[in-house]
Structure 1
Amino acid sequence: MRLAHFIFAVLISCSTVILAQSSGITKETLLKNSYRNPVIDQSLPDPSIIKGDDGFYYLYATEDIRNLPIHRSKDLVHWDFVGTAFTKETRPSFEPKGGLWAPDINKIGDKYVLYYSMSVWGGEWTCGIGVATADKPEGPFTDQGKMFRSNEIKVQNSIDPFYIEDGGKRYLFWGSFRGIYGVELTSDGLSLKEGATPVQVVGTAYEGTYIHKRGGYYYLFASIGSCCEGLKSTYTTVVGRSKKLFGPYLNKQGQSMSDNHHEVLIKKNEAFVGTGHNSEIVTDKKGGDWMLYHAVSVANPGGRVLMLDRIHWKKGWPSVEGGTPSLESAAPRF
């Protein structure tokens, strides 16, 4: 553990004791109602989350590029591994040597629908997006095959899918540092609507798109910088907002994300770097909004670990306390 990281942890621990003494709450109670990052101390990049009909939250991530791991939790803090979306036998194969990246989980009708990227590193014209379905969030998932490749849809680096329903229609957004694009889907979400044409939504600085609708605005969250260079990773979570799903998305000064302007949401600190590719927002029983994302731990930089932080809303904009990952914080209330 680096000295700065140690001092930061000691200060947090001391603050916890002082708060307990001043409020009459025991330290044990405070610790029980708090959590530490990372919430899963293993490499789980590009998280996507959904609440199942059984009351559990199910998490999907890139970590095993062959099969996509699935974890579940009741409280977003304590997680159990439940299996993988695919097996060696059921694994998608439209890109035979490709890895499975950046899953996006959804419920469409009575089916759990999992979008995934399939690519070899650097294969920006052969990569593509596929889709699989299951009756339960833990699977087994049945691959429905490729939706499109980059060279077929004429969008370079077609990875990082994100699904959203709006105005009774279904859409897929995707892209990585060659523009973020959106297109309308069929009613079952399994293919592009006939005649639909991809539309570029924002510029070329972004990947890992997630769009959240709140209070009359659409908020487009994305990641900038390098994801996968260990302690040299510059990944940073950013956001812009729009009155319309397809933009224009603007920062606080009215500058457009089409010109690569945005607001920074989560950046590095002494303990974590490479903070990006956030999940969907989850609201707890007290109305608190929470977001999962990945980062590289400075103390143990072996992979991209799973992080959790609360999203606060101030004057119509999302923020994270201090603008950086927390080490210890009050836990979600479920």
Structure 2
Amino acid sequence: MRNTLIAMLALASVAAVAQDRKPHGRHSFTTDTLMVHDPVMAVEDGVYHVFSTGNGLQHATSADRRTWTVHAEPVLDSIPRWTHDSVPGFRRHVWAPDVIRYRGRWWMAYSCSTFGKRTSAIGLASSTTLAVGARWRDEGPLVCSREGRDNWNAIDPNFVIDENGRPWLAYGSFWGGIQLVGLDSTMHVAAGARPQTIARRTTTGRANPIEAPFIFRHGDYFYLFVSWDYCCRGMESTYRVAVGRSKTVAGPYLDKDGRDMRDGGGTLVFEGDKREFEAAGHSAAYRFGDSDIFICHGYSIPRGGASILVQRPMAWTEDGWPKIF
């Protein structure tokens, strides 16, 4: 997530100043239409958990992925002090998390940034459980970017485990595009590891509308989903999802026509249908039981551009490309 409306951010910043773990006037509630930005999903003990952008990160749970309880308690009961030192102007409005189970523990990566800036940080937290009210332990920063130093933006993290059981982190938004870096067994950047670019729209200039990577392993391939164009503008949003694949997690990721995603390649796989959704993006993909699903947020036309959770079955063509229904 990068282009959140200035007005929305301003309101969120004001509200966040006084927010504690149980904000005044806010209560858990149940809904069949989950309002989210940048959703990710995990399941534990038969309960589905969706984590998404919000003050301290929003958390919703469901037993059936149809009816959701949105919980008043933010995921992060306190925002680590280092985030404010690393990202001037950042308060509590945390963006675009990812969550994964690795070596018997849950790991949460989250984005700290401000509108239109690439002085950003990806934080790391861990917990033994996803249960509501779980205390997430601060594990410090994963990756930080700086204006004038880095030509990439440290937001929109995604964990992926390679065929050898090694964890990696994909991330990035606009500027230099999507980055990938190897992690160690503590889920921090491995000693000597350096980010490498795995996808971008253009090789020159700031107008490089690509972000929100998610890498999903299926069969012999790793599939890199990315979001093109612009989010967070309601009915003016132009978000859409493209994909490429590679036999190794480090790439190169090629689209159906053999174009390298580092050179602007990517096969469009999901976008707004102009009936139910104006635009859709910031996607994730999962295997739950025997089924693969695709999720993202979509800008609902019947709801005037409100951003809601989209869930779709995902199948595979004979030549091994995802098909989303």
TM normalised by structure 1 equals 0.77
Paired position in structure 2 for 1:183? 181
Q: For 1:9-66, what per-residue CA distance to the aligned partner results, in whole angstroms no more than 9, with x for missing partners?
A: xxxxxxxxxxxxxxxxxxxxxxxxxxxxxx85343111111121x221211001x2x2
- Contact residue 226 and residue 274 of structure 1 kept, 8 A: no
**Residues in 1 aligned to 2:81 and 2:152: alpha-carbon distance in whole angstroms:** 20
- Matches for 1:66-215 after TM superposition, within 5 Å: 66-82=55-71, 83-87=73-77, 90-96=78-84, 97-98=89-90, 99-124=93-118, 126-138=119-131, 139-151=134-146, 154-166=150-162, 167-177=164-174, 178-189=176-187, 191-204=188-201, 205-215=209-219
Which structure dedicates a bigger proportion of its chain to helix?
Answer: 1
How many angstroms does 1:301 deviate by? 2.5
Count of residues in Structure 1 that have an aligned counterpart in Structure 2 = 274
Counterpart of 2:315 in structure 1 is 312
Cα shift at 1:209? 0.7
Q: For residues 43 and 92 of structure 1, what CA distance do their matches in structure 2 show?
A: 26
CA distance in structure 2 between the partners assigned to 1:264 and 1:40 by the alignment = 29
Cα RMSD, aligned residues only: 1.8
1:290-333 CA-to-partner distances (Å, cap 9, x unmatched) read 12210111121353111111112112111123xxxxxxxxxxxx
1:169-189 deviations in Å (ceiling 9; x for gaps) = 111110012211111112021
Structure with more relative contact order (C-alpha pairs < 8 Å, separation 6 or more): 1
| Deviates most, 40-49 or 166-175 | 40-49
CA separation in 2, counterparts of 1:76 and 1:208? 23
Match of 2:19 in 1: none
Contact map agreement 1:40 1:307 (CA 8 A) in 2 = no
Where 1:231 maps in the other structure, the secondary structure is helix
Once the two structures are TM-superposed, the CA of residue 155 in structure 1 deviates from its matched residue by: 4.5
Q: Is the counterpart of residue 291 in structure 1 residue 294 in structure 2? A: yes
Amino acid at match of 1:183: V
CA distance in 1, matches of 2:285, 2:315: 15
SS in 2 for 1:278: strand
Instruction: Measure the CA separation in 2 of the matches of 1:161 and 1:95.
Output: 16
- Equivalent pairs: percent with the same residue? 31
Matched letter for residue 92 of structure 1 = P
Distance 1:45 1:69, change over 3 A: same
Which residue is 1:273 aligned to? 278
